[in-house]
Structure 1
Amino acid sequence: MGRAEARRAGQHAAPRAKKGVIRRLFTWKKMLGTFFVLSLLTMGGLFVVYLMVPVPNANAQAEMQSNVYKYGDGTILARTGKVNREIVGLDKIPTKVQRSFVAAENKSFYNDNGVDFKGTARGVINTLSGKGKQGGSTITQQYVKNYFLTQDQTVTRKLKELVISLKVDRKMSKSDILAGYINTSYYGRGAYGIQAAAQAYYGVDAVDLSVSQGAYLAALLQAPSQYDWTTATAGAKKLVTRRWNYVLDNMVEKDWLSPAEREGLKFDMPHEPKAAPGMEGQTGYIVDAANDELAAQGIDKAQIAKGGWTITLTVDKKKQRELVKAVDRQLESKIDRKKNKTDATVQAGATSVDPKTGHVVALYGGVSATEHWISNATRSDYQPASTFKPLVLTSALENGSETQDGRKIDTATLYDGTSKRPVVGSDTPFAPQNEDDRDYGSVDVQKAMNLSVNSVFAQMVVDVGPAKVKRTALDLGMPDKGFPERPAITLGTMNASTWDMAGVYATLDNHGKKVTPVIVKSAEHRDRETLTTPDAIGKQVVSRQTADTVTHVLQGVVKDGSGQAAHTGDYQAAGKTGTSESNKSAWFAAYTPRLTTVVALYGESAKEGGGQVTLTGTANSGRANGGGFPARIWADYTLGALNGGSDAKFDLDIARPEKILPSVTSSPSASTSTTAPPSPSRSETTEPDPDPTPTTSAPATTSPPPTTSAPPPEPDPDESTDPAESGGAGGNGGADGGGDGTGQDRGPNLL
């Protein structure tokens, strides 16, 4: 054999040798032996753990305490009960309702040994890999977690849960375990246990629950907040309906429900939420606002509901009392909710903020949290109307915007105030009607703000650019809810709450530094670090000069414009009225150097299901506008909150307006301009001569001096945003007030 053959033979021999070694090391006998050894070690380890881990006493959270809510001065506002829970035995729970929980969570419950090893192993692996909470636990394991352990997602807790569940399953009957599970679970709405849940969702005792209702409560446990029908999104409603069907189908599968009975069942929608006892008046609204804020800061409402919290609020007891009195004096004493159908629909809401700290010092959510659950202070399903117009001016000043013919926009800039005048320069046709279809002719920005002239501010939105106006509004604190980039936003066609608008106006009051209202000063719990309110004052979002100039303009609204009803006390004030489409809401947003308050009235149908309705006819009067009830409530409250008045003055850095004669054109392309001498400077204490009376004649060719004075207006001359009236000429208005016709200018335009 030659060298080459020997080399090849050696190469073949080496792999064979290696394979022989592997075979000797990993024979099936050795592998089986290793498996048995490891199994014995694992079993031995589990046995040791089983012996060493005792069944503990009930955890602290299973014996929950009350929560204490305090005013800013430390006095107690409310003490919520230990826990909204009443333990009931299985004899008080219909058998089919009991089984609906088994069908939902653990079909093998009556036959298993209390644990799901596969599900537990999966949970441990997911915990180690950082995938978070996973399902798979039996009813026994969930009961052990609720009653003996904590909700922490750790490997140690999962192993303890497994061992204790095995012991509990041996020591307790299945009936006792099921009763414990049903009574310790959290169902949402602050309800622990099936008795509280039955009352919270259906207004009945547990013994009276139907199979359909029981199946919903069983389905609810998977995601209580998400699956609450009254607040669930469309997607969540589909999910909970699917799970409701899953529960009932499983009951049929287990012969706990006949197919015929299953076929006849219909989903029983739960009732609207109701406040727990002791939450009457404004207390429930304030507590709910505080809980919402804590939840936004990362403290789950389920944790809050378990009690043990001492929550100190920013609410000022005196100011809160004054706000309630103001609503009672200026609104409730003048309406008849029982005999007048319109009065029965009126809902008042208000939020008052300290602009220097961002603290909510008073809040009005409605007649009572036990009578009207939705808080009118924080709800955001109505339009803020013309209270948005100051934000249009803010954006124009901040962006250094110009009119279509190149004139800088300031308080003295002249516009054409003709009602239904189509805006120029917009891709979206829009020709809003002024209040009472009134024409104002040539009108400067100050007067247009005083009288809330829709045609002027619609054109200003186009001049600035809707996208820029929206950006400024969001910077100031407006929520991005239904906020189109169209000229119609000048009429406040987006959604906002009094809380939102109080933050926006407080930002203007605070010289352009962002104010985000807060209501919780601190929250303490013995098992957690004390939570303190984050700084409510943010960065400079618009320049001081811009904010102060807008404040100066809004002083004119209160002194000489649509907000004169608020000019009743010894204090400086700046504000704006607003009345939405079809008079469904009426607003007054205003501030003094020390207090920013927004008051709104909403028309809400008194019929089941609610819905927005007109306020026209409130207190047997005509149109309920922002310059009426809201402004009077604001004035009454402000006077009391400021102890009868205040000598505090606005410290304003005002932009001086340029004096430019506007062009008078029949079309935007044929424009000429003439420059007039500069206007005399103005101060807060010196008002210029009154403006000329509004006219329906062609716009003037000379510029009147800038002014904050005007003849007495009609009450709150805000917008009429009925789509049929607000569209461009030749077309019908859209939902946002924009028309679908081309629209032609009505004679000479001042843009």
Structure 2
Amino acid sequence: MGRAEERKARQRGGRRAAPRNRPSLPPEPETTAAAGGTTTVEAPPAAEGATRAERRKAAAKAGSGKAPGKPGKPAKGRIRRLFTWKKMLGAFFGVCLLGIGAFVALYVMVSVPEGNALAQTQSNVYKYSDGTILARKGTVNREIVDLSKVPKDVQHTFVAAENKTFYNDNGINLRGMARGLYNTAMGRGTQGGSTITQQYVKNYYLDQNQTITRKLKELVITLKVDREKSKDYILAGYINTSYYGRGAYGIQAAAQAYYHVDAKDLNVQQGAYLAALLQAPSQYDWAVAGPIGKKLVQQRWNYVLNNMVGQGWLDKSKRDAMKFPVPKPPKAASGLEGQKGYLVELANTQLENQLMKQQDLTRSQAEALVVDQGWTITLNIDPKKQTELEAAVKSQLTSKLDGKKRKVDNDVQAGAVSVDPKTGKILALYGGVDYYKHYTDNATRADYQPASTFKPIILASALEHGAQTQDGKAIDANTIYDGTSGRPVKGSDIAFAPPNEDKTDYGDITVQTAMNKSVNSVFAQMGVDVGMKNVMQTADELGLDTTGLQAVPAMTLGSMGASPLEMAGVYATFDNHGKKVTPTLIASAEKTGRKVDIPSPIGAQIIDRAAADQVTSVLTGVVDDGTAKVSVAQNPLRKGQQVAGKTGTSDNNKSAWFTGYTPDLVTSVGLFGEAKKNGAHVTLTGATGLIPGTGRINGGGYPAQIWAAYTFGVTKKAKFDLETDLGAAVQPTVTPSKSETPSQTPSETPSETPSKSATPSQTPSKTPTSTAPTTSPPATTNQPSLPVESPTDGTTNNPLDPGGGAQ
């Protein structure tokens, strides 16, 4: 190959090399044009056997224009070749494609999560029957409301404040998002500019951490939420999850915190203030803001309203007439002190019961759906009656207790429930001295004996079943029974011979008188005559829990457990002419538009009206001529109200009761001896300073006094509408014939002989000898009641107990 051919081959990329056995010839000098002539530049000889790459490199050096032996700078053309506009544009598009690909992958991978638990936690709100707030219960002061309950103008204030394009945008503000990402990456803190949708996503789905990862998730979730949810859904979520200061989360809690109204009652001026608050809740709270803060929040308030005018949501003339709505001072949070805790717990329990029935849930499942889940529960409680009941307990009992002077005073617990017999509504409730001091609700506890307040149930069962005595006579108010204390009952497979209180003997007396004097021996025999299974069935139908109890004669003494709530329901059924009354605390319960169906408290006719009315008629005798005469019938507060009721005192004076009613109100009051140290059942004897050993707390004493002080203050004059011709309400107490009248001559054993005051009288006197104690009465002068655990203890009523008398 000649030199020319070898050069051509080199120019073609060395496709053809010179033969190896031929020595390389020196390269031919090349010439370059130069100013003023031609310069010859010798190309460096290529080494023998050089590779193709080495030859290209040598050729490149030869064309660089450098003079031999003189180093020079790289040519600018090389840099331009590396950064051409085509390469830069390609790189830009490449980066964009990578970014788009990464975002698509992120969009696919990130799904809309479940709302975080904190954002869904709400307070339950409990209201009185008149709509005023009773209490809020929950770890977070939030009550979620439907957007439909927020006035449209108020909705617009939030849009005008935060995101004027909300109804038209796709949920994101790219410029604000980019600024936020940049500042976060540069460590410059957070920046505003987020849309309402973004803020809702941050509040509801994410946390408040300011990281690039969290912001990217926010962007993706925002786009998805905006695509999947309506604008109203997003706006509702935003105003219900935002924090407004004063511990208020959501617009409902904020409306109450700043203006003491519900969200539905906010006006546009108030809404604009709440919308302005979201920018700086603490700084803009009028109650704590300094001059600068007040100036700024007013500027923000004006900004909101002016934007509404600009958007066409508010008439300018109306806007110009608006004045800044100064918020009300903060009010103390509604806790569970006093009676509130008892009311809240009972409301929760009754709501859980309904959910269990309607949805076939377990108790734990129902509780999880109720506690702190954002329910608005309106109670039937009448604020006035609630106040009066609390005042009556204080004035008649708790003000007289002094645990420092008398240890027994620390053991006295009171409970009471007041019910409207026509509607079944619980209008007032007393659960104890204070929910935080005594968690057990004395109004609903069923671990104490109702004692002689059970006796009307026996009579009701006898009348309902058409029962007869052992000698075949129909049982009614005028039926004659042997009232001898300790007399063995006849017709029972189980031997039973209950003593009367203080072993008082009455001889032959009518059922009416036996009820007035609470004679145990009479009602023990009556229970056997009716059939104890029938008696227990009637008790169950009336609302007492008889599960697992044996139908034995001892039950006639009220030896099972019962609560004031249950006893109020029983007597309300009597008052309601035999139609079942189930005392109900809840008027309504709703949560984000969902309402729970609350069944009617008034049920079916479970006792014939004539039977129920005769029980009521008989029970008026207990008040007018029996164990409640002093505390109730002769009470100076009474203004003509007709009253029926029954007292009760249990074994060893561990509980004392009075359950009574007027035509329009039923109230059961119970006193319970509960050891402060360990909760054991203990005696009430000697409490409030009554003489120990003889100072028995009877049902006709403090329980009846509490009942009277409360009832006569909230009821009007009324008489029962009775369909019966028997009982004290329609005829005087019947006196047995001379041959049937108990002997008035004391026997050799005075403790078994009735006093003169125990003799039934046709015309009750103004000052009853049957109930008025003397200063030194013999044991036989006490009126009969439920026996104490030891029938021979011989305890007597104390003159310091105003309600002294038989129970």
TM-score range, shorter chain: 0.5 to 0.7
Aligned to 1:713: 770
1:616 aligns with 2:685: yes
Correspondence 1:67 to 2:100: no
Alignment partner of 1:538 is 2:603: yes
Deviation at 1:62, TM superposition (A): 4.4
Question: In structure 1, what is the equivalent of residue 367 of structure 2?
Answer: 301
**% identity of equivalent residues:** 55
C-alpha distance in 1 between matches for 2:789 and 2:656: 18
**SS of match in other structure, 1:297:** helix
Structure 1 residue 323: deviation in Å? 0.3
Residue of 687, 699, 724 corresponding to 2:732: 687
For 1:696 and 1:424, locate their aligned partners in 2 and report how far apart those are by CA, in whole Å: 27
Q: Which among 676, 682, 689 is matched to residue 606 of structure 1?
A: 676
Amino acid at match of 1:604: E
Residue type at the aligned position of 1:563: A
CA distance in 2, matches of 1:473, 1:689: 28
Deviations 1:92-126 (A, max 9, x none): xxxxxxxxxxxxxxxxxxxxxxxxxxxxxxxxxxx
Q: Deviations over 1:344-396 (max 9, x none)?
A: 10000000000000000000000000000000000111110000000101111
Q: Is the 8 A contact 1:431 1:726 kept in 2?
A: no
1:388 aligned to 423, 438, 454, which one?
454
Q: Secondary structure at the match of 1:403?
A: coil
Q: TM-score, with normalisation over the residues of structure 1?
A: 0.58
Q: 1:414 Cα shift?
A: 0.8
1:662-712 superposed Cα distances (whole Å, 9 cap, x missing partner):
xxxxxxxxxxxxxxxxxxxx8846535778787477999xxx999685853
Q: How does 1:281-292 map to 2 (within 5 A)?
A: 281-292=338-349
**1:724 offset after TM fit, Å?**
4.2
Aligned to 1:581: 651
The SS at the match of 1:363 is strand
Alpha-carbon separation, structure 2, partners of 1:281 and 1:423: 47
Change (3 A) 1:58 1:492: same
Cα distance 1:397–1:417, how it changes in 2: closer, same or farther (>3 A)? Answer: same
Match of 1:223 in 2: none
Aligned position for 1:401: 467
Q: How do 1:354-369 and structure 2 match up within 5 A?
A: 354-369=420-435
Task: Tell whether 2:484 aligns with 1:418.
Answer: yes
1:637 to 701, 704, 710: 710
Helix, strand or coil: the match of 2:407?
coil
Q: How does 1:112-191 map to 2 (within 5 A)?
A: none
Which of 664, 670, 673 is the equivalent residue of 1:594?
A: 664
Give distance in 2, aligned partners of 1:502 and 1:639: 17
Show the 5 A alignment for 1:707-746. Answer: 709=764, 712-714=769-771, 717-725=783-791
The structure-2 alpha-carbon separation of the partners of 1:605 and 1:491, relative to structure 1 and needing over 3 Å to count, comes to same
Distance 2:713 2:597 in 1: 29
Shift of 1:53: 5.6
Residue 649 of structure 1: CA displacement?
Answer: 1.1
Higher alpha-carbon deviation: 331-340 or 621-630: 331-340
1:438 corresponds in structure 2 to 504
Instruction: Quote the residue 1:278 is aligned against.
Output: 335
- Name which of 412, 433, 438 aligns with 1:346: 412
Change (3 A) 1:319 1:705: closer
Between the aligned partners of 2:528 and 2:669, the Cα distance in structure 1 is 29
Q: Which residue of structure 2 lines up, in the alignment, with residue 379 of structure 1?
A: 445
CA contact (8 A) 1:481 1:494 kept: no
Post-superposition offset of 1:726:
8.8
Supply the AA of the counterpart residue of 1:626.
G
* Superposed displacement of residue 65, structure 1: 2.0
What are the superposed Cα offsets for residues 44-102 of structure 1, whole Å, 9 maximum, x if unpaired?
A: xxxx99945625263466441222110001111112244499xxxxxxxxxxxxxxxxx
2:406 counterpart SS class: coil
Matched, 1:562 2:635: no
Q: 1:440 to 1:79 in 2, by over 3 A?
A: same
1:335 to 401, 411, 416: 401
SS in 2 for 1:538: strand
Three-state SS of the structure 2 residue aligned to 1:650 is: coil
1:667 corresponds in structure 2 to none
What are the superposed Cα offsets for residues 172-222 of structure 1, whole Å, 9 maximum, x if unpaired?
xxxxxxxxxxxxxxxxxxxxxxxxxxxxxxxxxxxxxxxxxxxxxxxxxxx
Contact 1:440 1:695 in 2 (8 A): no
Name the CA distance, whole Å, in 1 between partners of 2:701 and 2:732: 25
Report deviation, 1:648.
1.7
Task: Give deviations 1:530-563, integer Å, cap 9, x for gaps.
Answer: 1242100000001000000000000000001001
CA contact (8 A) 2:501 2:787 kept: no
Code of the residue aligned with 1:402 in structure 2: it is: Q
Quickly say closer, same or farther: Cα 1:382–1:683, change in 2 above 3 A.
closer
Letter of the aligned partner of 1:534 in structure 2? Answer: P
Gaps of 5+ in 2: 1-104, 143-203, 207-220, 222-332, 357-365, 748-752, 774-781, 794-807
**What residue number does 2:135 align with?**
78
Q: Is the 8 A contact 1:439 1:696 kept in 2?
A: no
Amino acid at match of 2:133: I
- Cα offset, 1:632, TM superposition: 0.2
Q: Distance in 2 between matches of 1:723 and 1:409?
A: 29
Matched with 1:134 is: none
2:612 — aligned with what? 547
CA RMSD of aligned residues (A): 3.1
Residue identity matched to 1:368: D
Deviations 1:433-476 (A, max 9, x none): 11111100111100000000000000101111100111111111
2 CA distance for matches of 1:291 and 1:618? 34
Distance 1:473 1:367, change over 3 A: same
Q: Distance in 2 between matches of 1:718 and 1:445?
A: 14
Change (3 A) 1:705 1:627: closer
Alignment CA distance shift 1:397-1:686 (3 Å): closer
Alpha-carbon distance between aligned partners in 1 of 2:449 and 2:745, rounded to the nearest angstrom:
30
Equivalent position amino acid for 2:686 in 1: G
Q: Which whole-Å CA distance do the structure 2 matches of 1:57 and 1:689 have between them?
A: 75
Higher alpha-carbon Rg:
2
**Alignment gaps of 5+ in structure 1:** 1-47, 86-146, 150-163, 165-275, 657-681, 728-751
Change (3 A) 1:690 1:305: same
Matched, 1:58 2:115: yes
> Would the aligned equivalents of 1:546 and 1:655 in 2 still touch at CA under 8 Å?
no
Deviations 1:583-639 (A, max 9, x none): 1100001100000000000000011x3110001111121000100000000000001
* Kept after mapping to 2: 8 A contact 1:593/1:650: yes
Query: Is residue 2:722 matched to residue 1:652?
Result: yes
- 1:111 aligns to what? none
Tell me the secondary structure at the aligned position of residue 478 of structure 1: coil
SS of the equivalent of 2:404 reads coil
Aligned equivalent of 1:234: none
Partner of 1:324: 390
Task: Measure, in 2, the Cα distance between the counterparts of 1:707 and 1:458.
Answer: 25
Distance 2:743 2:395 in 1: 35
